[in-house]
Structure 1
Amino acid sequence: MNKNNLPIYFAFAVFFGILIGVLFDGPQSPMLAKSSAKERKIKRLIEYIQQDYVDTVNTDQLLDDAIKNMLGKLDPHSVYIPRENLQLVTENMQGNFVGIGVQFRVINDTITVIAPIKGGPSIKMGIKAGDRILMADEDTLYNKDLRTQDIFKKLKGKPGTEVKLQIYRKMNDSIFNVSVNRGKVNIKSVDISYMLNDSVGYIKLNRFARNSYREFKEGLDTLLDKGMRTLVLDLRGNGGGYIDIANKIVDEFLEDDKLIVYTKNNKGAVNKSFATEKGDFEDGKLYVLIDENSASASEIVAGALQDNDKGTIIGRRSFGKGLVQQEMDLGDGSAVRLTTARYYTPTGRSIQKPYTKGAETSEYRNDIEERFSSGELFEKDSIKTVDSLQYTTPKGKIVYGGGGIIPDVFVAVDTSAYLPTLFFSPLSKFSFDYVDNHRKELSAMSLESFIKDFDSDQKVSDSFLKKFKDAPISKETKKQLRKNLKTLIARDLFSDEGLYRMNHRDDKMLLKVLDLNKN
C-alpha cells in the first residue's frame, strides 16, 4: 500500500476510518432532562453576542469552533462532525449511498465516468467508462468550476427519484439522453479477492463498514470453493471502523470461546468478545498484512490473531489506536464521536500510542514522519519497545503494547515505488487519454493478456517518456515510470482488479508471504 496511484475512494476510506476509529455499539447517551447552569451560561453568552456585539458575527461558526476546541482538549480521536460532513461519513461507514452509481473524475471541466459501479443504477442503464455527463435534468455540468459536493447534490438523491442525464460517448462520437432512477449503491469494502496461485488466496479489505463482513465472507467462500488452503488478508492502509464487524471477521479464524478483544470504560466496566463456533477458516494457514496506516479495527484483528498464536502478521508497526468512539447526536444534524472506552487485545495489551491531552493533533499524526526519519520503516531493530509493556502469548511469543501492533515478520517500506511529484499529473493524464482514445481495442483484452503482453515493445511508454526527453531521468526511474504507467492504464481499464494485480507482481510483502509459504 505504499503506491502512489491508489483510487481516490480508497484514500477516503483510510481517512474516514482513522477519523471514526472503532465505533462501540452501545446506546446513545440520553439528553439531559434539564439544562444545567453551564448550559445556560453558554446560551446566555451566545445571546449577548447576537444582541449586543459591535459587529455582525456568525454565532453558529463560533459554537462549532468552541466544540472543536473542547474536543481537542480530550484526545486525538474525539471529533466534531459538522452537519454538512455527517452524511458522507455515515455513508462511508454504512457502506452504501443513494445515487446513480458511478466512479467519476472531473477532467477538463467535464464529469467523466471512470467506471459504473457494479450493481448500481447507471450500469443497468448502459452507462460506460469514458462517458461524459453533460447535464443532469436542467443543470449544465460541463465548463463549470464545480466542487465535488456540488456534483454529489446533482447526482445523489432519494431512492427511486429520477434524474435525466445527457451523455457524450467519445467512442462513437454521440450524444444521447438517459433517465436513471437513483438507488442504493454499494461502497466496496473488499477491493479484490482472487487466487495468487493454486492454493493461496488473497483478500484486500479497505475498511470495517456495515457491509464489510458480508463482502469478506463472500470472498472467503469463493476462494475456499477454488481450493484455497492459505489466506492472505491485506489490511494495509485500512483505517478501521466498527468493532463488531472486526469481531465477526476474526471469528472466522479463531476456535470457539477464544477471547478476541475487550473494552473498558471510565467506570471500569469490562465488555469481552469471544469467538463462536461459526468460523470457516479455523484450520487454514493465515497471513495478515499491516502497515503504518493500519489502524483501529485493523489492529483489533491483527492483535487478536497474534495474541491467540493464529497466523503470521507481516509488514510494519501499525498506527497505534486503542480508543473506542461512540457517536452522539447534537440535535442539529451534526454529531460528535466521543471516546468512551479503551480496548485491549487478549493478552491485555493497549496498543494506543502515546499522546498529550490538549496537544496539537498534527504532532500525533506526524508520528508516521517520525518513523520514517528514525529509520523504523526500514529496519525492525529501529522499532522502540518498552519492557514494562511486554506480554506473552499462550505459546510463549513476546508481544508489546504501547503503540501499535509489531509484526511477526518485518518488511521494509519500498522506496523504489516513490516517484518525484512532477510525474504524478502527467502519468495520470497520459493514462486516461490513452485509454480514452483506444478504449474499443483495449476492451477486447483480458486482464491476463494485458498483464502479459501490453506494451511489451515499450512503444506506449516510450511515447510518454518523450515528454521528458530533456530531463535527467535515471534508468531506474524510467523503469519505474514504465511500470506505473502500465499500472495506471490497467486501473483505468480494469478498475481495482487491474490496479492490484499489476502492483502485486512485485509487492514485497506478498513476495515474502509466497516465500514463507513454501516452507
Structure 2
Amino acid sequence: MTERKTNLPLIIGIAIAIGIFIGSTFNYKNKSVLFSSNSSEAKIKRLINYIQYDYVDKVDTDSLLDDAISNMLIKLDPHSVYIPKDELKRVTESMEGKFVGIGVTFLMHEDSVAVTSVIEGGPSEKAGLKAGDRIIVANNDTLFGKSIIKKAGVTENELNTPLANRKISDAVMNSLKGEPDTDVTVSVYRRATNEILKFPITRDEVPIKSVSAYYMINKSLGYINIDRFARTTYDEFKLALEKLISEGMTSLVLDLRGNPGGFMDIANNIIDEFLEDGKLIVFTKNKSGEVDKSFATGRGDFENGKVYVLIDQNSASASEIVAGALQDNDKGTIVGRRSFGKGLVQQEMDLGDGSAVRLTTSRYYTPTGRSIQKPYIDKDTKSYNIDRFHNGELISKDSIKVNDELKYTTPKGKVVYGGGGIIPDVFVPIDTLNTYSTRLYGRLNEFIFNYIDDNREEISKWSLEDFVDNFDTDDKIFNQYIDELDLNYPIAPNSRKNLKLYFNAIMARNLFDETGYFMITQKEDNMILKVLELESAQ
C-alpha cells in the first residue's frame, strides 16, 4: 500500500499530462471522437480535484504536470520538448531576435551590475549610459549588494555558484525589461567621474543578433558567422552579404559551427542566395505521406560565388539543411566534422497556460532524398549522448561509420550518405592540443574587465584593425594576468600560446563585438586555415 501511494502522484500526473496534452495540442475536427463528458476529460478534472483536496500530502500539481509532460515527450523522440511558461518567453525572444528592454549587456562584477556594452541605437545609448557604468537602482529596485541577492532568491549555500549568478542575472533582467514604451529610471555609478547619475529610459525593442560577425579575411574571401536561425537572421545575413560583396568578396566562409538550428524558412531564404532558380532546397514528409518541397528562386546574390560551409558535431537542424542543400546541389565545399544529425521538424503548440510543446510533425530530406536523422535506439532512450570523441570520428574521417544502403549521388557524381549528419567534403579533426584549464582561464573575464575599466579612456582610442594587429605585442599586459594567477608551475608553450590568443580575443570582444573575437581566433583556427589552403590551391 505504501509503494502505491508513493507512485500515485507520478501515475496521476502522467494521466493528466496525456489528457491535457492531447486535448490542447491537436485540432481535431470532431473532438467527440476523443472525449465525451464521461471519458478522459471528465476523469482528468476529477483526478485533479482528488489530488488537490483528498491526497494525503500536499502536491504541487503544476510541477507534477510539467514533469509528467516532459517525461512523456522523451518517449517520443529526442527533439519533441516541453517548454514551461517561465522559460517560453526567453526562448521566444531568442528566436524572434528581439526583446523589450533598455539595451545593455552586463556582468556581475563583485557585488554590482557593470555595463559591458551599450547597444548601438538602443534606449540606453540615447539616454547617455556608457560602458563601465554600474547600475545600482532601477526604479525602486536596488540592484547591488545584499539587496540583489535577496531579490534573486539566492540562498547562502548557493553563493558564488553558477546557479547564483544565473538567478541574479535573471533578477536584474526582470527589473530592466518590460513592456514597450514603459519608463524606467536607472541610477548608475560612473567611476570615471566618481558620481551617481540618474537616467530616465523608455523601454523599446532591442535586437538580439544571430549573425554574430562578418568581415573580410583577405581581399577576396569574406566571413559570416550565424549562431542560430532566428526570425531576423535572413535580414542580418542579407545585410552582411551585400556589404562583403561591395568590398570585393568572391568567396565566402559561412560558419555554422555550434549552430543548433531554428526556423526552416529562414534557412531556405539563406540557401536561395547561393542556388540557381528552380534548384530543390529541401523537402519534408509527414506521417500522412504529404510532401512539401522548397525550391530556389532567381533572386540569389551569390549564385556565382564560391562558398565554404563550416560545420562541426554541434551543427544541427537548419544548419544541416543549409549544408545538405549546398552539398547535394554541388555548390561549394563543406568543411569540418560530421554534423549533429537532426532531421526532424518541430512545430510549437500552445498548451493554453503560457507553456508550449515543440512536437515533431515531419521529417526533412536533402535534395538527393537522404534523411540525416541519427537513429535513436528506442522510444525510451536517447542515443544522443554517444561520445564521438571516443568513437574516433572527431579525429579521423575514416572512423565515421556509413551505411552503404543510404548512399546517394549528387548531379555531378559526388557520393553522399544519409543516416546521421552531414559528412563534410573536407574533414578537419578537432584540435586535441587546444585544452582548457580552469586555473588558467577561470579569472580571464574578470581581469579583462578590470583592465578595461582602469584604462577605458586610453584603450578606447584603438581601432578594431589596429587592435587585431598590434595590441599587446610585447605581452606586457598578458604577463600581468599570468603574474596574478600566481602559478607554482610553468605553462606549456602550446597552452601559453592558446591562452594569449583568447586573452586578446576576449579583450577585443569586450572593446568591440564578436567580430573582433573571430578576427583574432581565426589566426589559429584550423578550419579557416584549411579554407585558406583550399583557396590558394585554386
TM-score over 0.5 for the pair: yes
Which residue, 335, 347, 350 being the options, matches 1:314? 335
Q: CA deviation at 1:225?
A: 1.1
Instruction: State the alpha-carbon separation in 2 of the partners of residues 301 and 434 from structure 1.
Output: 41
Which residue, 346, 350, 365 being the options, matches 2:384? 365
Kindly indicate whether residue 497 of structure 2 is the aligned counterpart of residue 479 of structure 1: yes
Report Cα offsets for 1:237-289 as digits up to 9, x if no partner.
11100010011000111111111000000111110101111111111111111
Q: CA deviation at 1:451?
A: 1.9
Instruction: State the alpha-carbon separation in 2 of the partners of residues 244 and 114 from structure 1.
Output: 34
CA RMSD of aligned residues (A): 1.5
TM-score between the two structures when normalised by the length of structure 2: 0.88
SS of equivalent residue, structure 1 residue 339: strand
Kindly indicate whether residue 319 of structure 2 is the aligned counterpart of residue 298 of structure 1: yes
1:512 maps to 530
Kindly indicate whether residue 506 of structure 2 is the aligned counterpart of residue 488 of structure 1: yes
2:41 maps to 39
Give the letter for the 1:482 counterpart. K
1:426 maps to 443
More off after superposition, 350-359 vs 94-103: 350-359
1:403 maps to 420
Which residue, 58, 79, 102 being the options, matches 1:56? 58
1:6 maps to none
SS of equivalent residue, structure 1 residue 372: helix
Q: CA deviation at 1:499?
A: 1.0
1:218-257 superposed matches below 5 A = 218-257=239-278
SS of equivalent residue, structure 1 residue 166: strand
SS of equivalent residue, structure 1 residue 365: coil
Instruction: State the alpha-carbon separation in 2 of the partners of residues 421 and 38 from structure 1.
Output: 53
Q: CA deviation at 1:348?
A: 0.7
Q: CA deviation at 1:102?
A: 1.1
Q: CA deviation at 1:195?
A: 0.9
Give the letter for the 1:114 counterpart. T
Kindly indicate whether residue 97 of structure 2 is the aligned counterpart of residue 95 of structure 1: yes
1:410-489 superposed matches below 5 A = 410-466=427-483, 467-489=485-507
Report Cα offsets for 1:209-237 as digits up to 9, x if no partner.
11000000011111111111111111111
For residues 511 and 92 of structure 1, do their structure 2 counterparts lie closer, same or farther at Cα, with a shift above 3 Å needed? same
Q: CA deviation at 1:449?
A: 1.6
Q: CA deviation at 1:472?
A: 3.9
SS of equivalent residue, structure 2 residue 442: helix
Larger Rg computed on CA atoms: 2
Instruction: State the alpha-carbon separation in 2 of the partners of residues 498 and 418 from structure 1.
Output: 22
1:347 maps to 368
1:140 maps to 142
For residues 39 and 73 of structure 1, do their structure 2 counterparts lie closer, same or farther at Cα, with a shift above 3 Å needed? farther
Q: CA deviation at 1:504?
A: 1.2
Find runs of 4+ consecutive structure 1 residues off by over 4 angstroms: 31-34
1:337 maps to 358
More off after superposition, 113-122 vs 247-256: 113-122
8 A Cα contact 1:416 1:480, kept in partner: no
Instruction: State the alpha-carbon separation in 2 of the partners of residues 247 and 61 from structure 1.
Output: 38
Report Cα offsets for 1:343-386 as digits up to 9, x if no partner.
0001111000111343344xx3323xx11112211111111111
Instruction: State the alpha-carbon separation in 1 of the partners of residues 187 and 384 from structure 2.
Output: 44
2:162 maps to none
Report Cα offsets for 1:393-442 as digits up to 9, x if no partner.
01110000111000000111123332212223211211111111111100
Q: CA deviation at 1:29?
A: 4.2
SS of equivalent residue, structure 1 residue 114: strand
8 A Cα contact 1:94 1:211, kept in partner: yes
8 A Cα contact 1:261 1:300, kept in partner: yes
Instruction: State the alpha-carbon separation in 2 of the partners of residues 119 and 239 from structure 1.
Output: 29
8 A Cα contact 1:74 1:357, kept in partner: no
Give the letter for the 1:345 counterpart. T
Identity of aligned residues (%): 57
More off after superposition, 484-493 vs 227-236: 484-493
Instruction: State the alpha-carbon separation in 2 of the partners of residues 382 and 290 from structure 1.
Output: 17
Give the letter for the 2:79 counterpart. H
Report Cα offsets for 1:184-228 as digits up to 9, x if no partner.
011101111111111111111111111000000011111111111
Kindly indicate whether residue 344 of structure 2 is the aligned counterpart of residue 323 of structure 1: yes
Kindly indicate whether residue 212 of structure 2 is the aligned counterpart of residue 215 of structure 1: no
More off after superposition, 457-466 vs 475-484: 475-484
Instruction: State the alpha-carbon separation in 2 of the partners of residues 295 and 469 from structure 1.
Output: 40
| Greater relative contact order, per chain length (Cα 8 Å cut-off, separation 6+) | 1
SS of equivalent residue, structure 2 residue 300: coil
8 A Cα contact 2:75 2:381, kept in partner: no
8 A Cα contact 1:287 1:314, kept in partner: yes
More off after superposition, 288-297 vs 30-39: 30-39
Give the letter for the 1:246 counterpart. A
Which residue, 512, 515, 521 being the options, matches 1:497? 515
2:163 maps to none
SS of equivalent residue, structure 2 residue 130: coil
SS of equivalent residue, structure 1 residue 222: helix
8 A Cα contact 2:444 2:503, kept in partner: yes
SS of equivalent residue, structure 1 residue 415: coil
Report Cα offsets for 1:446-500 as digits up to 9, x if no partner.
1222222221121111111122341342222222222222222112111212211
TM-score between the two structures when normalised by the length of structure 1: 0.91
